[in-house]
Amino acid sequence: MAARPTWRGIIKLALVSIPVEIYPATRAGRSIAFHQVHEPSGQRVRYEKVVPGIGPVDRDDILKGYEVDKGEYVLLDPEEIEKVKLESRKTLELSQFVDLSDIDPIYYDKPYFVVPADDLAEEAFVVLREALKRTKKVGIGQLAMRGQEYVVSLKPCGRGMVLETLRYADEVHKASSYFRDIGDSKPEADLLEMAEALIEKKAGDFDAATFHNRYIEALQGLIAEKIKKKGKRVIQDRSSDAVPKGSNVVDLMAALKKSIESGDSAKKSEPRKAPAKKAAPARKRA
């Protein structure tokens, strides 16, 4: 496998130890890199590490420091930080198993693929994977990597497994503080039925490949236009940045009906292909 593992260690289930490797399951999306440029000179702005009274310093002379008092620091070198004694640096102990529905999606952070480290580990790996499938459970444990300890979940994924880092409780805002002003009233049955019908009409299988980053494409178009106009200012969208507001009086039922009907009319308006015409027989010349 060409990629370099993010973490190597063992998954521990009671007295069973399974050597594994984990790899990032995602990668950074498309982006356009911008630099800060000094407009009058056209030169790129660069930053230097500077100490007051000394000036620029070498990057190799910089350590991480924790301020214990104003202007007084405890210095730590990278190896000291890396070698902090923590069991989860090399061992992921599955301490709990829960139903998938028990974990609110808001806690999920980043996914990783999990594979057995060698052929000897494969048998135990497959047993754990299949046991999780049959019980429909997700393994929970803690794992340390890249200077942080994470709560993680482990679940089957095809022939392998997926490990996902989870956010700690204090990293998630309480939803009640945002939703408390929303009333407890129940929607009318006929409105709910219309909304369900609209959802069913637009239902389909999710395919991530059908979506693309339109913002990146728009930026590329802007850059191409700037090059064409030799750097002149280009404002593509002259509309206001104000958030659009709905009308004061909204007939929700009419809007839902119109939405459903528009879907039907779109299907009806699709041009049908005419049946292929048979070629006319060639006429004989006199």
Question: Does residue 40 lie within any of the structural domains?
Answer: no
| pLDDT reading at 274 higher than 70 | no
Give the H or E element holding residue 55: strand 55-56
| pLDDT reading at 63 higher than 70 | yes
Give residue 249's pLDDT. Answer: 43
The C-alpha atoms of residue 222 and residue 55 are separated, in whole angstroms, by 40
User: Which of 40-44, 125-129, 176-180 tops mean pLDDT?
Assistant: 125-129
Q: 144-158, 161-175, 212-226, 230-244: which has the minimum mean pLDDT?
A: 230-244
Confidence of residue 264 (pLDDT cuts 50, 70, 90): low
Residue linked to tokens 């890249």: 146
| pLDDT reading at 268 higher than 60 | no
| pLDDT reading at 82 higher than 50 | yes
Give residue 244's pLDDT. Answer: 61
Average pLDDT of the residues of the chain:
83
Question: Does residue 117 lie within any of the structural domains?
Answer: yes
| pLDDT reading at 250 higher than 60 | no
Question: Does residue 107 lie within any of the structural domains?
Answer: yes
User: 96 and 151 in contact (C-beta within 8 Å)?
Assistant: no
pTM for the whole structure: 0.71
What percent of the chain has a predicted confidence (pLDDT) above 90?
33
Give residue 221's pLDDT. Answer: 84
Distances (CA, A) of 138 to 18, 100, 129, 135: 17, 6, 10, 9
Longest Cα pair distance anywhere in the chain, in angstroms? Answer: 112
Distances (CA, A) of 125 to 12, 22, 57, 241, 266: 11, 13, 50, 53, 51
Question: Does residue 36 lie within any of the structural domains?
Answer: no
| pLDDT reading at 52 higher than 80 | yes
The C-alpha atoms of residue 54 and residue 64 are separated, in whole angstroms, by 18
| pLDDT reading at 9 higher than 80 | yes
162-217 tens-digit pLDDT: 999 999 999 999 888 888 888 888 888 888 888 888 888 888 887 878 877 777 88
Question: Does residue 244 lie within any of the structural domains?
Answer: no
User: 30 and 213 in contact (C-beta within 8 Å)?
Assistant: yes
Q: What is the dihedral of CA 171, 176, 179, 183, to 10 degrees?
A: 170
How many domains, the chain? 1
Confidence of residue 11 (pLDDT cuts 50, 70, 90): very high
Output the CA angle 190-191-192, nearest 5 degrees.
90
User: 24 and 112 in contact (C-beta within 8 Å)?
Assistant: yes
User: 132 and 155 in contact (C-beta within 8 Å)?
Assistant: yes
User: 138 and 103 in contact (C-beta within 8 Å)?
Assistant: yes
- Domain with residue 92: its CATH number is 2.40.290.10
Average pLDDT score over residue span 268-286:
47
Q: Which domain holds residue 13?
A: 7-26+83-170
User: Which of 77-86, 149-158, 202-211, 231-240 tops mean pLDDT?
Assistant: 149-158
Give the H or E element holding residue 189: helix 189-201
The C-alpha atoms of residue 129 and residue 60 are separated, in whole angstroms, by 45
